[in-house]
Amino acid sequence: MTFVDQLPYVLLMIFSVLVSGGSAVRVYRLRRKVARAKSFIMMAICAAAWMLLTSLSILISNLAWKQVLWALIPFAILNALIGLFFFSLEFSLRLSKVPKVVLLPTVTLVVVMAALSATNPFHHLAWTIVEVNGSMTQVQGIFYQVQLAFAYLLGLASLVLLIRAFMRSTGILRRQTVLLLIGILIPMVVSAATDFLGWDPLPYFDEAAFSIVFTIVLFGWATIQFNAFYLLPVASDAIIKSMQEGILVTDVEGRILFSNPAAKQFLGKKDAQLNDLPVAQVLADWLPEAHQAWNEGKEDVQLVQGQEKAKYIRLTTSRLADNAGESIGSVLTLYNNTDQKNYEMRLNDMAIRDPLTGCYNRRYFFEIALAYYNQTLRSHKPLSLMMLDIDQFKQINDTYGHVKGDQVLQRLAALCKSLVRTQDIFSRYGGEEFILAMPDTSLKGALLVAERLRGAIEVMEEGLEGISVTASFGVAETTGDAKVSLDLLINRVDQALYSSKHAGRNRVTAWMGD
């Protein structure tokens, strides 16, 4: 063929080179925002090299230069197909990068094949030069068959991986996978037709090299068009990066596509430790409760990090959807609301505690005691109440002053709280009176508790500077008799306390009936 005859084919191949190269540049510029960018760029660049080298081999007539090109073309082909295989592997298995167990043998094999092609003049395993009708031409050798088999193996492996991804995908992921399948089938069908069926519609033209441009276009479309974080407006970048809230944006597969500085600080990570990683893995490494919330699909959860100086972090998840309403990813927000939670807890504590003694107040006592009482009605397990009153407290105030009187109340409250169970509700009932609700405690057990408290108060000396303090106690029990209301039970405790006072103080009396 003359140069004029070859020119249309060469121009077509150059156009394909520009398309593939342009696709590689486009994805490279968006490499931080699209998944599997490295594999795609490798495939597109090597495909462009394949087509460019093929075009040059058509145009150049010098045999020595043709042999150089023939040595380079298989290297470009194999690397393009390896890029295709890596892309399919990462896509199908949802990997952030190719595992070393696959990467190292593949690279080694390509290096060996490249070396054999480069040294062909010494062994002629790849091709030999023969004269046909007065012109020198290339005849493929045994090594060419090995390369061809390896190329088809890579293509078939990629096809199987994408079929697997198609079977496991739904919605937008399935549409994305369909584009990838079409993209890989086109060059495979063309290559099979030319290699095994002798199909050659364009003489002196590499149909297989040209067909891969369709793969590049379709893969590029699937990579960019369906990438979730490509929807991030550039204008929002500065706002998001300056936010105190941590922001993570994931694609539909749950891979992190973007994280602002606050998110990295929350998670204790850097860019390289977050980009393209599964968000589930990152959350699991950070806080198991966050990982559990993500797996359970919770959209708003309060997390606690640490124990002694607990940090409260609110994790919210918002699903992103396209115009058709299909999920395309998620936005996770991490907000440090420790100050707010501490403030809320302080407010709550102030609402339920007596400001002088620090024990529960009367309102909170009735709230919890009523719950215990209702539980007793259902289970018929005993509920006991105990009331104590400081003996001759007015005399303490008159003798030592109200400041010392307050110290007595504080010291007695602290002592009693330290001697009762966590489920018992010890409250200031009014003045120098205190009341204790003891669930699942019989009258006999309540009497033992009251006696223990009475004895401890009697010998209480720390910080009181010789002030003698005693207290009188009243105890009553109910086992779920509906006729005995909570008010009636408290009245019985009060009567028992009055009996202790009347009998000489500093003693414990149980209500034994009218």
Instruction: Tell which wins on pLDDT, 8 or 79.
Output: 79
- Pairing type for strands 433-439 and 327-336 reads unpaired
Q: What average pLDDT score do residues 155-170 get?
A: 88
Q: CB 35: neighbour CB atoms within 10 A?
A: 22
For 425-443, how does the pLDDT look when each residue is reduced to its tens digit (9 = 90+)? 999 999 999 999 999 999 9
Delineate the domains of the chain, giving CATH numbers in brackets. 3-226 (1.20.1070.10), 230-342 (3.30.450.20), 353-510 (3.30.70.270)
Write the pLDDT tens digit of every residue in 357-381.
Answer: 999 999 999 999 999 999 999 999 9
Judged by DSSP in three states, 336 sits in strand
pTM, rounded to two decimals: 0.51
Q: How far is CA 50 from the centre of its chain?
A: 41
Average pLDDT over residues 260-281: 81
CA gap 27, 31 in Å, rounded: 6
- Residue 9, pLDDT > 90, answer no
pLDDT band at 478 (very low <50, low <70, confident <90, very high): very high
Q: Is 458 a catalytic residue?
A: no
User: Measured between alpha carbons, how far is 323 from 228 in angstroms, rounded to an integer?
Assistant: 13
Answer for the pair 320, 328: CB distance below 8 angstroms, yes or no: yes
- CA-based radius of gyration for the chain: 41
* Torsion region of 148: left, alpha or beta (phi above 0 gives left; psi -120 to 50 gives alpha): alpha
Strands (E), 103-242: 127-132, 135-140
Residue from 207, 253, 367, 432 carrying the catalytic annotation: 432
Least confident span in 16-20, 311-315, 320-324, 325-329:
320-324
| Percentage above 70 pLDDT, the chain | 90
Tokens (6 digits) for 222: 């699937």
Instruction: Tell me the backbone φ, ψ of residue 312, rounded to 5 degrees.
Output: -100, 125
Question: CB–CB of 15/39 below 8 Å?
Answer: no
Cα atoms in the Cβ-side hemisphere of radius 13 Å centred on 510: 14
- Average per-residue pLDDT in the chain? 85
DSSP SS3 for 55: helix
Decide: residue 337, CB within 10 A, 0-12 exposed, 13-18 middle, 19+ buried: middle
What's the CA gap between 23 and 217, in Å, rounded? 7
Scored b (16 or more CB within 10 A) or e, 62-73 reads eeeebbebbbbb
Integer Cα distance of 189 and 191 in angstroms: 6
The amino acid sitting at 512 is M
Look at residue 57 and tell me whether its pLDDT is greater than 60: yes
Q: How confident is the model at residue 2 (pLDDT cuts 50, 70, 90)?
A: low
Residue among 340, 339, 443 nearest 386 (CA):
443
3-state secondary structure 13-37: HHHHHHHHHHHHHHHHHCCCCCCCH
Predicted confidence band of residue 227 (pLDDT cuts 50, 70, 90): low
Q: Taking 60 as the threshold, does the pLDDT of residue 237 lie above it? A: no
- The Cα 462–Cα 459 span in angstroms is 9
- Separation between Cα atoms, residue 360 and residue 435, nearest integer Å: 10
Strand order across the beta sheet in which 327-336 lies: 256-259, 246-251, 327-336, 311-321, 300-305
- How many whole angstroms separate alpha carbon 448 and alpha carbon 501? 19
